[in-house]
Amino acid sequence: MKKKEIVKKIGMISLLCGIILGTIGCGEIQKETEMKELVICTDEAYKDTVEALAEDWQKMKNGLDVEIISIPQDATLAEAKITELRTEIMSGAGPDVFIMGSNINTTDSDTSVLFSNPEKTMHSNLFLPLDDYIDNAQYMNLDNWNQKIMSAGKTEEGQMTLPIAYTYCAYAFYTADLENLSSAPNSWEELVQCSVPIVGKCLSNGALLWLSQTFGELADYENETLAFSEGELQKRMEEALTWYLESEGSEEDFNAMIASTQVKNVFWEQVSRASEEAKTIIAVPNDQNGVTAYVTLYAAINRNTENPDQAFSLLDFMFSDEVMTGAGFATEDPDIKYGNGNSFSYANGILTNVVAAQQSLRNQSTQGLYEEIESSINRVRYYSELDNTISKMYSDCLMDEQSSSSTEDAKKEIVKQAYNNMCMQLAE
């Protein structure tokens, strides 16, 4: 009996020691692995590009081993992955580098993204300020980057994110189809009062996608308040709805569009391929006599990274002119170029690197149109839940308007709830 008791006790103590040692050991191994690896988190859509570029960086700069964590496109898998990543980040760990896409998704506002409001996240001590690193960058030439777009990644602490690509909503027409339109509308008021039927028909139909872009500012993230009142939101919704319902024109007007909605390389390619006739591009204006651009792809470094120099070295390589234009860095072997052919040129927007962006513009007329729109950009931000809320609000109001029991009070209630929702999002 005594022997049995002794054996039991030894067994229990050994089990306890094993658990404790195992836990400590796992922690140590993980720490060692983390030191030797650079972890990059990106969307599945960009995984191949990031992987290829990271490999070239490793070879060229003799960098750390790289582990790519991609967020799946499938909503259920993405949710699980994002929760795992959030838990790691909250515990002070997480990936070293983030290369994340940002898109409005009006049909599914419950789509999970790692940073649902990148601008708010920039104020949350999550990203590493990059100014010192950029000043000492070996390859990145910030003079070749669109400074207006770059300002979207700045806070009072410095450059927190690097906007890689951006977009805005625009519609391209042949000037002849625009019957006496003297100039493209420069403000929201001019747009809704535009008397050209084709403009009203084509643009008002897309308000669901870009209504939030008509606001110059959405939020003041420092003070956690909205930049407009409930009354202003109500008025904007009513104007957009009235404009859509009362716009003249026919279904055939849609065929007159050369290219439409979110501007990216495809947009400019379509404009370039169209005939040589004069073209007019109408970018959706905001209420501050300009155009609001949205960042669609950005990079950032985790403030808690143990390898900040290596992390920035990777970004420095990826966002050099050589890599962004696809030309690549020459090596001793003329057939091999690091970063050649792998870039973010098919990102969901226009590249912030001006040299790379110019490559998609085929001819002088397109160049002229591009520069005209670019000069009118006066606001840049990131897609967030606020944009989704405004889109959903407009969609609900449109559905209410089209239903048999539509009332003004119902629409006012929808706007009120959307406004309260946005206030809550900011105040949290």
Binding site for other proteins (CB under 8 A): 9, 12, 15-16, 19-20, 23, 86, 89-93, 115-117, 120-121, 124-126, 128, 303-304, 306, 413, 417, 420-421, 424-425, 427-428
Q: Which is nearer to other proteins, 122 or 194 (CB)?
A: 122
When the beta carbons of 15 and 245 are compared against other proteins, the nearer one is 15
The region that residue 349 occupies, defined by phi over 0 for left and psi between -120 and 50 for alpha, beta otherwise, is left
Residue 39 has phi, psi (to 5 degrees) of -105, 125
65 is written with which tokens? Answer: 């081993």
DSSP state of 280: E
Q: Which is nearer to other proteins, 127 or 344 (CB)?
A: 127
Task: Write down the least CB distance from residue 223 to other proteins, Å.
Answer: 12
C-alpha to C-alpha distance for 142 and 371, rounded to whole angstroms: 19
- Residue pair 41/311 in contact by the 8 Å Cβ criterion: no
Q: Output the smallest distance, CB 128 to other proteins, in A.
A: 8
Is the CB of 53 or the CB of 128 nearer to other proteins? 128
Cβ at position 32, least distance to other proteins in Å? 16
User: How far apart are CB 125 and other proteins at their closest, in Å?
Assistant: 4
In whole angstroms, how close is the CB of 147 to other proteins at the nearest point? 27
Closest CA to 298 of 222, 249, 261, 351: 351
157 or 372: CB nearest other proteins: 157
User: Considering the complex, what minimum distance in angstroms separates the CB of residue 4 from other proteins?
Assistant: 12
| 321's tokens | 């002119």
CB atoms within 10 A of CB 131: 12
Q: Which is nearer to other proteins, 23 or 105 (CB)?
A: 23
Of 230 and 287, the one with the shorter C-beta distance to other proteins is: 230
In three-state secondary structure terms, 236 is: helix
State how beta strands 219-220 and 279-283 pair. unpaired
Shortest Cβ 318–other proteins spacing (Å): 23
Residue 64 burial (CB < 10 Å; 0-12/13-18/19+)?
A: buried
Specify the residue, 1 or 427, whose C-beta has the smaller distance to other proteins.
427
Closest CB 93 distance from other proteins, rounded Å: 7
> HSE-up of 58 (CA within 13 Å, CB side)?
14
Give one DSSP letter per residue of 309-328, joined into a string: HHHHHHHHHHTSHHHHTT--
**H or E stretch covering 381:** strand 377-382
